[in-house]
Amino acid sequence: MRKRMLALLVCLVLACLLPWGTGEEIDLSPTPSPAVPDAPDAGSLRLPPISEAPLLQAPPMRLDCAAALLMEAESGQVIFEMNADSPRPVASVTKVMTILLTLEQMDAGRVSPNQPVTISQSAAGMGGSQVLLDVGETQDVDALLKCMIVGSANDAAVALAETLYGSEELCAEAMNRRAEELGMSDTHFVNCTGLPAEGQHTTARDVAVMSRQMFAHPHYFDHSAVWMEDIDHGDGRVTQLVNTNKLLRLYDGCDGGKTGSTKEAGYCVSATANRGDMRLIAVVLGAASGKERFDIAKRMFDFGFANYRRYPVAKRGTKVKGRLPVTGGEADGVGLVLDGDLTLLVNKGDEQRVALSPDLPESLTAPVREGDAVGHVTVEVDGRPVAQIPVAAAETVEAKGNGIKRFWHNWAWRL
């Protein structure tokens, strides 16, 4: 009993020493913002969704193709589009999904780059573009991936499909599942190569979605910029790979992409180019010739790089000026921080048109926990809302008396 009485006396003394017991003022002035680490790059694969509306209502140039779309890769902001949701065949651009699944399975450890693959009759017998694999020949997974990325090899694509999923049909099912996960609502795959097949189709928007995901894998770029390379078949025979993406030579900054062409699909390409801190993705479907698809993509890239820049609006953890009042708490207010990163794509020179409008309550009721969502900041461009950034409590504010209760619980009963 004496110990409990002594503990109670200690608690009362501590209570008298607290600011509200002495009448002393609490310093509520804002503290300097801590340094915030850079946001994760695209290689982390945590990609924001692509924008629901393009920045421009119509393409700023004549596009002699069936469909097109220009997008900034990191933010997912679409700059302009044309017939972007019209389903159509895209020939070997279909292999973007096959490549993506291979990269994801490699990252997951389900297959290793040096895992040997024995070429089956079905893989060796594929028509169209090939690397001329023989039945029974052995190539490793990474070599087959390179053949698919550089030379658009159908035989390499089927060999990988069989290695990953057991058959091309099961691979196509996996491609459709992944498409659904990525929100590609106007896409259906029948095979892993893009060879003509009834019911196989996608759209310029969906091509941009899966291409963006593929470009988020750093290992993709280990192969994508290869211009020419020999593939040794192990029996004295060598096949020379030549990259089908001529933009690698035609456009400064282009370091990847996937081409495709058939009679029904026309000439297609999904290409990417990087300059400075900005990566663009240009999708061109149904052009009249191979040269025309590359010319259109070049003009799309030129427009994007000439007119837009990435503008960092917010970093997660940035301190919000001032403090939000707290009622019934051990402190009268709580500091706030932005709980999200945001980089906008803006017209060069239009940065001053970006404004932040807070949407916060007048006060909070204790207890408030660090990290609690308390509201958001609306980002506006020319008065038009374009995004929201969550705002969170920067620290914990306990309800009055909770500090004494914690002391009593943790210490008093141990005396």
Tell me the catalytic residues.
Answer: 92, 95, 152
CA nearest to 103, candidates 137, 143, 52, 142: 142
Distance CA 151, CA 161 (A): 17
Distance CA 320, CA 31 (A): 10
DSSP letter assigned to residue 289: S
How many helices (H) and strands (E) would you count in the chain? 12, 17
Distance CA 336, CA 162 (A): 53
Check if the beta carbon of residue 91 is closer than 8 Å to that of residue 265: yes
The total of other beta-carbon atoms located within 10 Å of residue 252's CB is 10
Give one DSSP letter per residue of 335-404, joined into a string.
EEEE-S-EEEEEETT-GGGEEEEEE--S-EES-B-TT-EEEEEEEEETTEEEEEEEEEESS-BPBTTHHH
User: What's the distance, Cα to Cα, between the start and end of the chain in Å?
Assistant: 10
Q: Tell me the backbone φ, ψ of residue 274, rounded to 5 degrees.
A: -125, 130
CA nearest to 399, candidates 369, 361, 372: 369
Those residues whose C-beta lies under 8 Å from the C-beta of residue 116, and which sit 6 or more positions away, are 138, 139, 140
Check if the beta carbon of residue 121 is closer than 8 Å to that of residue 157: no
